């Protein structure tokens, strides 16, 4: 079996992300993670929070590394990963107390973010939380690095990808009964945007 893929950014941000999530997620929370990537966040957080139940997911052609990380970790609170592709949102994905994404909103084209928000709103229970980690704009870019990332995304990933204004995401979320609660400042010009499902 090949070595597990390692994303160096996850090694840097996993500690602060775990702290931010832990400040919000009570014991017993069932978390759905979308666009889990390598699964490093899933493994890191589930190992430190055995009182959470963690469901990681990815699009089909990114499952191998995620599966490797999760199999090797062998944690009882880390469920087998699901294939979830935003382009084909699965029917019947409901009952999660929280939904978490890291570096997903800016990475996919804007029309898919609308699908993402509608899907999350259906997946999370009333009173549940939705947490988006990553770089977001606040009246424009908050750093030169974020502006460069936006240009790279539009050039190399998808012309409709790129950083979202916090207010625009909050407005879209509000249309699906997801109320903005808090923006937790994170290292390196990132932020954790927290929403609550109204009903």
Ligand X SMILES: C[S@@+](CC[C@H](N)C(=O)[O-])C[C@H]1O[C@@H](n2cnc3c(N)ncnc32)[C@H](O)[C@@H]1O
Could you list the residues that contact ligand X (CB under 6 A)?
Answer: 7, 10, 35-37, 58-59, 62, 85-87, 102-104, 107-108
Q: Which is closer to ligand X, CB of 87 or CB of 198?
A: 87
Shortest Cβ distance from residue 134 to ligand X (Å)? Answer: 8
DSSP conformational letter for 136: -
Shortest Cβ distance from residue 199 to ligand X (Å)? Answer: 27
Distance CA 44, CA 158 (A): 30
Distance CA 165, CA 170 (A): 9
Shortest Cβ distance from residue 190 to ligand X (Å)? Answer: 10
Q: Are 81 and 54 in contact (CB under 8 A)?
A: no
The CA-CA-CA angle for residues 188, 174, 19, to 5°, reads 35
Shortest Cβ distance from residue 39 to ligand X (Å)? Answer: 9
Shortest Cβ distance from residue 180 to ligand X (Å)? Answer: 21
Q: Which is closer to ligand X, CB of 143 or CB of 179?
A: 143
Q: Which is closer to ligand X, CB of 32 or CB of 86?
A: 86
Q: Which is closer to ligand X, CB of 42 or CB of 124?
A: 42
Q: Which is closer to ligand X, CB of 28 or CB of 61?
A: 61
Count of CB atoms within 10 A of residue 35's CB?
Answer: 21
Quick one: tokens of 195? 């929403």
Residue showing the smallest CB distance to ligand X in the complex: 37
Residue 15 Rama label (left phi>0; alpha psi -120 to 50; beta): alpha
């Amino acid at each position: 079996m090949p070595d597990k893929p390692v994303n160096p950014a996850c090694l840097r941000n996993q500690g602060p992300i775990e702290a931010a999530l832990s400040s919000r997620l009570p014991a017993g929370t069932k978390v759905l993670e979308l666009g889990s990537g390598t699964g490093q966040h899933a493994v890191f957080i589930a190992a430190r929070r055995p009182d959470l139940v963690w469901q990681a997911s990815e699009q089909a052609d990114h499952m191998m590394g995620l599966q490797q990380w999760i199999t090797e970790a062998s944690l009882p609170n880390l469920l087998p990963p699901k294939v979830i592709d935003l382009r084909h949102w699965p029917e019947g994905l409901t009952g999660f107390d929280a939904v978490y994404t890291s570096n997903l909103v800016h990475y996919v084209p804007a029309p898919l973010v609308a699908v993402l928000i509608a899907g999350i709103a259906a997946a999370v229970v009333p009173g549940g939380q939705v947490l988006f980690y990553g770089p977001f704009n606040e009246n424009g870019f908050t750093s030169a690095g974020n502006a460069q990332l936006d240009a790279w995304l539009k050039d190399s990933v998808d012309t409709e990808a790129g950083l979202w204004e916090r207010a625009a995401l909050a407005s879209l979320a509000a249309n699906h009964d997801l109320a903005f609660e808090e923006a937790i400042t994170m290292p390196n010009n990132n932020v954790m945007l927290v929403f609550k499902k109204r009903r």
